[in-house]
Chains A and B, each alone.
Chain A
Amino acid sequence: MIIRLGSVYGKRLNLNGDQGNLLALRRYLNAAGYEVEVVGVDCTDVALSCHFLLLGHGSIAAMESLGERLSQFDWAEIFARVPSLAIATSAVWLSGEPVEAFFDTTDRVSHFEVATLSLEASGEQGRFGIPDDLRVLGYRNTPNAKAPALANPSGKLLTTMLHGPLLAKNPRLLDLIARAAVTAAGSPAPTQDSSGLHKWQQTLNDVASRIWALEAEGASYPAL
């Protein structure tokens, strides 16, 4: 079984390197022995054929150009079935809020941040099995510090204001998302006896721990 990772208008929704999340996921699944393909997604049918979907952060111009096309998707159906991650402007667009507000720079936040899943902004179901105390590190560059860094607003949709290669920097979150994609594909879960996966996990943990140590001082979450 091939694990299909979908990139919704990936060329346009990659302002801050968010497509790196797909690279991180692909490398992880490859290391665990899965065959993976990354496909471009431009309609509901293709989205539903995927086992994971990424909607990255897009520029003002990109979001304006895509608004009408994104409106054609059946997002409720997609998020009921496909584990998905939406980042910054994509997450704002999906919430129905005006994307322009995202670019109001009068009260901007631009820093590394450590966060847990916002329970307030999340539904009761799904959550990819993310424990309430799982901390993630990423870079927030938004006008509104109150927008939840990580939330599960509906179904299998995870939203974040932390852009860039979030999954690569957060191996535990990566593992949870990878398992969700594998489950969506109906494949057996990865096992720890895969030496390739174990080695790659060690590498990721080592590098990510150094990034965490480096950014701890500037992050908003105090108890690192």
Chain B
Amino acid sequence: MRYLAAIALGRLVRTAVRLVRPGGGSALPGLVLSKVAPGILGRTFAGFEHGLVVITGSAGKSTTTKMVVAIARAHGLEVFTNPTTANIRQGFYSSILERSNLLGKVPGNIAILEMDEGHAAELVTEVAPRITAILNVVEDQLDRFVDPQLVRDKLRIVAEHTTSHVVLNADDQNLIAISGQLAASVHWFGLGDKAAVPSLGYAPTYTDALPTPNCTTTVVSLEERHVRIACHGKVSQFDLPSRGLHFAVDAAAALETSNQLLGSAFNIELATQVLAQLPPVFARGEVVEVRGVPVEFILVQNPISTQLNLDNLPKGLERVMFAIGRDVHDPSWLWTVDPRNLPPVDVITGFNSAEAELWLRHHGYTPGLVTDDLEQAFDHWLALPEPTNGVRTVIFSADAMRRIRRMLGFTSPDEVQR
């Protein structure tokens, strides 16, 4: 009963926001709830029968979380999780608001949450996770985190507060460095082919390499989207929902985490079946029909995800739009990315379109249209002649993605096709 008024107020705000902006508005109601009932978060997360699973790190959180959630549900668990756009504190409040009854009770016997690395370090001091998966440390959001080592320090806090199992990436020296003297048992995933590790862009430590731990889950091979992963002596093979080696690593992380979560109940065949049918997390290789035209959406969030996504673009792409929004506070990091695999760009748009244009012009690109008006950009781009392969490509940052999706009327994060 203590949260009845707070939940009612939060829902009222949510309804009002959605009336004004369909498809948006997860932040404000969460903010309101966090102010009027701050204790509901800890109480909710501590109340799940099978505890809290946290998936964090610089890159790959959304994909890995979606995989673990799907595997857990297929094994019969009732999972509470957060949408990919709500991985910070107020987003968790919004998720509670979304899923709880009026008394603040959230259905489910386990919480599996994607957590922003900065917010995770704070939240675990309130509620200790039973299991934590830490995916990597990359040079990301430096306007927030300043330095990769400071991110590593935050992730160390998360690992130290975990009670049972910590799942770590064996190819990231930052994570090997934080693995010592943890109370929880440590489990490792990684690549079988270590020659490919540098392409994943983990933040260098510039010290003598620590020995790579033995992995219980390993990416054995990846051809196009077909991946083979060895997990505790058994092989899982399936087509990934999205292109790129980093998605194969995410899948390995998901399998190892699921194994620790489910214990003897873990069924690798069932998990494989689940992963084979999983749609991409939105904008990670998602192809959507827009006004009858197939469009592939590719999200770029930091230097390494941009580099990996550009490197994995198929040859001969035509009709490319590049959109960098307000979420990129300091676009300087674009200049660490080598865009040589990016085909000619027809349109540059978003709040930071001029910054993106400056970067691309220095690399010899001459964009057709540059405008911060997303709607104008989209209309212009759709009116351009059809590409040879029939599919247009949008590469965008998170803010531009949200605005474009809202503009197109895609209001649910789950509206994703494989």
Binding site for B on A (CB under 8 A): 12, 14-20, 23-24, 27, 59-62, 64-65, 103, 105, 108, 110, 112, 139, 141, 163-165, 168-169, 203-204, 207-208, 210-211, 214
- Per-residue CB proximity of B335-367 to A under 8 Å, as 1/0? 110000000000000011011011101110000
Closest residue of A by beta carbon distance from B149:
A60
Closest residue of A by beta carbon distance from B145:
A105
Query: B204 within 8 Å of A by Cβ?
Result: yes
Check B139–A20 contact: CB distance below 8 A: no
Query: B373 within 8 Å of A by Cβ?
Result: no
If the complex has contacts A65-B206, A169-B358, A214-B354, are A164 and B335 also in contact, measured as CB distance less than 8 A?
yes
The 8 closest A-B pairs by CB, nearest first: A164-B332, A17-B335, A20-B335, A65-B206, A210-B354, A17-B332, A139-B330, A60-B149
Residues from chain A with a CB closer than 8 A to the CB of B139 are: 15, 59
Check B149–A16 contact: CB distance below 8 A: no
Query: B143 within 8 Å of A by Cβ?
Result: yes
- Which residue, B144, B149, B332, B361, has most C-beta atoms of chain A within 10 A? B332
If the complex has contacts A12-B206, A64-B206, are A59 and B358 also in contact, measured as CB distance less than 8 A?
no
Closest approach, in angstroms, between the C-beta of B200 and any C-beta of chain A?
17
- Which residue, B143, B207, B354, has most C-beta atoms of chain A within 10 A? B354
Check B335–A19 contact: CB distance below 8 A: yes
Check B335–A61 contact: CB distance below 8 A: no
- Per-residue CB proximity of B264-275 to A under 8 Å, as 1/0? 000000000000
* Sampled A-B contacts (28; CB under 8 Å): A12-B206, A15-B139, A15-B147, A16-B333, A17-B333, A18-B332, A19-B335, A20-B335, A23-B362, A59-B147, A59-B148, A60-B148, A61-B207, A103-B146, A105-B150, A112-B330, A141-B142, A164-B332, A165-B335, A168-B358, A169-B358, A203-B361, A204-B358, A207-B357, A210-B354, A211-B354, A211-B355, A211-B358
Contact of B207 among A15, A18, A65 (CB under 8 A): A65
Contact of A110 among B204, B205, B329, B357 (CB under 8 A): B329
Closest approach, in angstroms, between the C-beta of A36 and any C-beta of chain B?
13
A23–B335 Cα distance when bound, in Å, is: 9
Contact of A16 among B142, B204, B362 (CB under 8 A): B142
Check A59–B149 contact: CB distance below 8 A: yes
Contact of B203 among A59, A108, A164, A210 (CB under 8 A): A59
If the complex has contacts A17-B334, A17-B335, A141-B143, are A207 and B149 also in contact, measured as CB distance less than 8 A?
no
Check A16–B206 contact: CB distance below 8 A: no
- Which residue, A17, A19, A108, A110, has most C-beta atoms of chain B within 10 A? A17
Closest residue of B by beta carbon distance from A21:
B335
A23–B147 Cα distance when bound, in Å, is: 24
Check B150–A20 contact: CB distance below 8 A: no
Check A24–B333 contact: CB distance below 8 A: no
If the complex has contacts A17-B336, A23-B335, A110-B143, are A61 and B206 also in contact, measured as CB distance less than 8 A?
yes
A70–B139 Cα distance when bound, in Å, is: 23
If the complex has contacts A61-B207, A168-B358, A169-B358, are A16 and B332 also in contact, measured as CB distance less than 8 A?
yes
Residues from chain A with a CB closer than 8 A to the CB of B147 are: 15, 59-60, 103
Check A141–B330 contact: CB distance below 8 A: yes
A15–B203 Cα distance when bound, in Å, is: 10
- Per-residue CB proximity of B191-208 to A under 8 Å, as 1/0? 000000000000111110
Residues from chain A with a CB closer than 8 A to the CB of B331 are: 164
Closest approach, in angstroms, between the C-beta of A106 and any C-beta of chain B?
12
Beyond the given A16-B142, A61-B149, could you list 12 further A-B residue pairs with CB under 8 A, ordered by the A residue number? A16-B330, A19-B335, A23-B363, A64-B206, A103-B146, A112-B330, A164-B333, A165-B358, A165-B362, A207-B354, A207-B357, A207-B361
A203–B355 Cα distance when bound, in Å, is: 13
Residues from chain B with a CB closer than 8 A to the CB of A210 are: 354
Check B143–A139 contact: CB distance below 8 A: yes
Check A207–B204 contact: CB distance below 8 A: no
Closest approach, in angstroms, between the C-beta of B190 and any C-beta of chain A?
21
- Per-residue CB proximity of B145-178 to A under 8 Å, as 1/0? 0111110000000000000000000000000000
If the complex has contacts A61-B205, A61-B207, A169-B358, are A14 and B142 also in contact, measured as CB distance less than 8 A?
no
Residues from chain B with a CB closer than 8 A to the CB of A62 are: 204, 206
A203–B141 Cα distance when bound, in Å, is: 29
If the complex has contacts A19-B335, A65-B206, A139-B332, are A165 and B146 also in contact, measured as CB distance less than 8 A?
no
A20–B337 Cα distance when bound, in Å, is: 10
